[in-house]
Amino acid sequence: MTAGIVSTTGLVREVGGFLVMWLHIALALTLVPVLLWHVIARSTRPRRTDVSRRMAMRWGVLAVLALASYAVAESTIRLTGAPGARRRFTGSHEVGSFEPAQMPVTSWIDDPVPAVDPAQWRLVIVDGSGRRDLTLADLGGGDAQLRATLDCTSGWYAHQDWSGVPVSSLVRPDPEARSLLVHSVTGYRVRFPVADVGHLLLATHVGGRPLSSGHGYPARLVAPNRRGFWWVKWVDRIELDPTPAWWQPPFPVT
């Protein structure tokens, strides 16, 4: 809880090189086995008294106290002018807007930054016309531009000008497709509804310069209005697929 409060205020951004929000998440995950053990070791059968007017009142009081605590905390942050007062509606703090080099380098759970050889890298496209392998040169100079906000679940966001190739210009229609699978060289993948294809950009540049290795070189996905874990880095495969978009974990697992 302390880590969550500290992250909310924005007064302390990192501890030991780790974002405070990441520490908050890590601490919460370590408690999951303890919670499961407690539920199993001290399991009790449901009782008629578990559903009563008194129990409903107790839960109501707890809800009111929680809302009141939240209101007091937010009011205090705004009145004191703490950095947390400028948080986005997701709770994220702004870091490195229009300064790509200042953006934190984060990856989902266990993905290290890979060393991608641009001469050997290929982008595999699978669509209604079959399979094609594209080189980095085939993507051209990345003339399409898009200003979009990268909002990372580790607690930061940044507005950037991205440029690259619209995904809609890379894939050819497939009447049987129900989703678009985007795959990374690390094995990471996410699946989008086909209706999203027209909104996605395969970025090769940010802020007018090529992507850095930590931010997805040679190509990363830009998915406006979606959280950072949808923005696949180091993309090596884009595939139209008959599998429905919901056929995936709520959050990627690798």
Contact 15, 21 (CB under 8 A): no
In a domain, 251, yes or no: no
How confident is the model at residue 213, as a pLDDT? 96
**Residue that terminates a domain, selected from 59, 93, 127:** 93
Range of the domain at 191: 96-241
Query: Residue 214 is part of a domain; what is its CATH number?
Result: 3.90.420.10
Report which of residues 86 and 150 the model is more confident about. Answer: 150
Band (17; pLDDT cuts 50, 70, 90):
low
In a domain, 254, yes or no: no
Contact 200, 161 (CB under 8 A): no
Q: What value does the mean pLDDT take over residues 66-74? A: 83
In a domain, 197, yes or no: yes
Q: Are strands 209-210 and 201-206 parallel, antiparallel or unpaired?
A: antiparallel
Place of tokens 């923005």: 231
Side-chain-side CA neighbours of 213 within 13 Å: the count stands at 9
Q: Say if residue 105 is in the same domain as residue 216.
A: yes
Band (109; pLDDT cuts 50, 70, 90):
low
How confident is the model at residue 6, as a pLDDT? 65
Q: Say if residue 50 is in the same domain as residue 174.
A: no
Contact 127, 172 (CB under 8 A): yes
Does position 24 have pLDDT exceeding 80, yes or no? no
d(CA 73, CA 75): 5
Report which of residues 44 and 32 the model is more confident about. Answer: 32
Q: Mean pLDDT check: name the lowest of 38-42, 158-162, 187-191, 218-222.
A: 38-42
**What pTM, to 2 d.p., does this model score?**
0.82
